[in-house]
Structure 1
């Protein structure tokens, strides 16, 4: 018995109908982004190992796939792995997100780009995940980023474009949770956590939805017991706030008094003012079915975020279906000078699992069923004439089981069919019938 021939774990094949529907959905996203003034770029699937492991990618750096240097013999790999030095054998790696490649791209081509660059990247990325529902080792991200704009306009454009893309896909019930890293650090300072413990504390707070307030406090006690208790009180008080906000219209819940309930007076004033202004600007500008709410417990795991952060939640998914934020310090690592930047990414694989994808649309698709005695030159001439008219054309040979053949071509998106007899040479003479 032949062994099963499956793709690698965490990676998938897509049949023609699935591929067509996915491309249709990606086309919707791409068209919405382009209508908002973004331009599409493409970057290599590999980047330098050192760039991918610069300490800004959070846990995703640990999940990156590395590419061995050329000429490394197997015995050297085994010895290095045993000694814990396997990373010395790699000089390249597969990208684990699209942000690191974008910042390198901008640094490489800055002289050729406008002062404020609005980019689209829609492409696969790779992570050595533990495969499970909604989590794959190869998956598509749909990113928009704005580089060179330090003002709030960038965040507003990203949120409005992303929300309209979600609405165009028919994904209702989305909540865009927003926060500001400066507010998070303000909370930590207010509670009394030493600055050297901030990153560790944020990692713990990011687990709030999984381990609850009690679990967060217990874990934070290892860093500072008194500060942990203060943080526990704040988290308990803000829990109702996180879930607040009614739907209807834009459903914005970023009022100043709501934010003031979370932070003591004077703490993280710049971050608070930023979210207040964001809420006011977005009021009434989002499509129906998309809600925006302030969530002071939102962390986002990437180490490169510096200000506003956002994440898309949906009741049909146990994980976020998108996210992003401001990463003003990242481009400067390549240029030697800081450049403001902010981005928003839709997790396409999770989104596509939540929506009913319509049949892909395009040119009329017709099938020509040829008798065995039809001359190839005549058949090709008919096909060429129909293609020149804008049709999508499939050639099929007549079979005994015509019912099965017609059912198959119909399932593949073909809407009309014509029989081709010997001697047929003019497309206008073909008699087409509809496929139900």
Structure 2
């Protein structure tokens, strides 16, 4: 029987041209993050299942790939619990492994520690366009910095990295979990009902105010409270960043001074960046339950979903270390970035196209000389119709050719786009 050569459902093979784009994007992002002082670390794909299911990952914990314990019998008793069968799982993000890494190594790390991670993660998603069961994340985190320097630097570095990779026209959206909590409390909701309100507000850009208002009575709000909530939110959307602090104080009179000060300082610093497009978005929620302060996302007109997101999570590392550590992180949606950039020229690759009677020493010598300026150079033997082969070379990612017809040396290099 012939074996099925297709990849597992929800995964995919990557052809050389696609990998070339991914390498280009990663190289540009890495270059920028290194300039900001972020140091690359690596963590294992497998984590203890207790850590992965410790309430840190929100809805993602329902999508964990669990790994059976070694040494199990082929048949187990019907009453055996899942916890007796599983001890490991594949990581669903890079933040949970980072908290364990920091707890184990913090004594030897610089303070604050600027971490950079890139690697695969796994989620048991329903496969569809743009969503895969194995995909790559690209994260930077600053651990040990309590001020909004962390938020501002993460946003500046990430937007600069995206621009370096070739993505322009992005917008940063900023909010704060502490603001959202104060907003829910001012609406008269008990704390156990806040999450439901946040879930509804997060849909505003998709269902509009009519849809949000239709849902809010089921969240425990009457018409008067809904009117006040809508007025507060619309008053905070757009507007001059310089007046954000006053508008926040007017919208939520009980908002703590610390939150007002942090958001005002962030707004001032981001506005000073000049070309950065950003806005305060009072309906931004983000799904992870571990956020404790400011949260942010990056959106792009060509993508229906955010292309990067993150926030402050000051309580998460304490679960590993036994004491709280201020922490803030930003994760780039690497797969979405690649999809938006795919098709851009990412390298200069030269094909040394040689006839069968050209001596091998001439072929390899020509290629060696061309590589001296750092370009990608590959010898390819002439076969078939000349025009058809040039077309294939272009499809394979080559940008120019040097045609070796005889032992006298190479002809002139010429771009394949002019063939």
- Could you tell me the TM-score, scaled by structure 1's length? 0.85
Counterpart contact for 1:217–1:228, Cα < 8 Å = no
Residue in structure 2 matched with residue 174 of structure 1 by the alignment: 170
Cross-structure match for 1:233: 227
Residues 43 and 101 of structure 1 are in contact (CA less than 8 Å); yes or no, is this contact kept in structure 2? yes
Whether contact under 8 Å (2:21, 2:346) holds in the other structure is: yes
CA distance in 2, matches of 1:349, 1:170: 14
- 1:272-330, Cα deviation, whole Å (9 max, x unpaired): 2211111112222143xx42211222111111100111112223222221111000111
Q: Is residue 366–residue 391 contact of structure 1 (8 Å, CA) maintained in 2?
A: yes
C-alpha contact 1:244 1:253 (8 A) present in aligned 2:
no
Q: Secondary structure at the match of 2:75?
A: helix
1:396 corresponds to 2:385: no
Q: Which residue of 2 aligns with 1:150?
A: 146
**Structure 1 residues 76 and 222, CA, compared in 2 at 3 Å: closer, same or farther?**
farther
State how far apart, in whole Å, the 2-side matches of 1:31 and 1:115 are: 22
State how 1:163-202 maps to structure 2 within 5 Å. 163-202=159-198
Does the C-alpha gap of structure 1 residues 36 and 228 become closer, same or farther in structure 2, counting only changes over 3 Å?
Answer: farther
Q: 1:130 to 1:418 in 2, by over 3 A?
A: same
Asked if the contact 1:254–1:293 (Cα under 8 Å) also holds between the matched residues in 2, the reply is no
Contact 2:170 2:299 in 1 (8 A): yes
Q: Is the 8 A contact 1:160 1:286 kept in 2?
A: no
Match of 1:248 in 2: none
Q: Give the deviation of 1:355 after TM superposition.
A: 3.6
How many angstroms apart in 1 are the aligned matches of 2:237 and 2:6? 42
Separation in structure 1 between the aligned mates of residue 16 and residue 160 of structure 2, nearest angstrom: 28
Rounded Cα–Cα distance in structure 2 between residues aligned with 1:286 and 1:12: 40
Number of aligned residues:
415
What corresponds to 1:42 in structure 2? 42
**Higher deviation after alignment, 7-16 or 54-63:** 7-16
State which of 387, 409, 414 in structure 2 corresponds to 1:434: 414
User: Which residue of 2 is the match for residue 340 of structure 1?
Assistant: 326
Contact (CA 8 Å) 2:312, 2:328: kept in 1 or not? yes
Cα 1:228–1:46 shift into 2, 3 Å: farther
Does structure 1 retain, via aligned residues, the 8 Å contact 2:242–2:268? no
Distance 1:89 1:201, change over 3 A: farther
The secondary structure found in structure 1 opposite 2:319 is: helix
Distance 1:269 1:109 in 2: 35
Partner of 2:404: 419
Given that 1:253 and 1:279 are in contact with CA atoms closer than 8 Å, whether structure 2 keeps it comes out as: yes
For the residues of structure 2 that align with 1:285 and 1:102, how far apart are their CA atoms? 29
Q: Does 1:284 align with 2:278?
A: no
- Counterpart position of 1:7: 7
Partner of 2:251: 262
TM-score (norm: length of structure 2):
0.88
Q: State the Cα distance separating 1:109 from its structure 2 match.
A: 1.5
Residue 289 of structure 2 corresponds to residue 293 of structure 1: no
Tell me if the contact between 2:56 and 2:96 (Cα under 8 Å) persists in the aligned partners.
Answer: no
Question: Residues of 1 paired with 2:95 and 2:188: CA distance?
Answer: 33
Displacement of 1:139 after TM fit?
2.1
What is the alpha-carbon distance in structure 2 between the residues aligned to residue 356 and residue 14 of structure 1? 13
1:234–1:262 contact (8 Å) kept in structure 2:
no
Within the alignment, does 1:330 sit opposite 2:316 as a pair?
yes
Contact 1:328-1:340 within 8 A present in 2 as well: yes
Structure 1 residues 160-194: Cα deviation after superposition (integer angstroms, max 9, x where no partner): 11222233344333221111111111112222222
CA distance in 2, matches of 1:282, 1:388: 43
Alpha-carbon distance between aligned partners in 2 of 1:309 and 1:243, rounded to the nearest angstrom: 16
Does residue 410 in structure 1 map to residue 399 in structure 2? Answer: no
**Gaps in structure 1 of 5+ consecutive residues:** 246-250
Residues 332 and 409 of structure 1: CA distance in aligned 2, closer, same or farther (over 3 Å): same
Counterparts of 1:116 and 1:144 in 2: how far apart (Å)? 13
- SS of aligned partner of 1:369: strand
Instruction: Tell me by how many angstroms 1:370 deviates.
Output: 4.0
Q: Distance in 1 between matches of 2:399 and 2:166?
A: 25
Give the C-alpha shift of residue 352 in structure 1. 2.8
Measured after TM superposition, the shift of residue 147 of structure 1 is 0.3
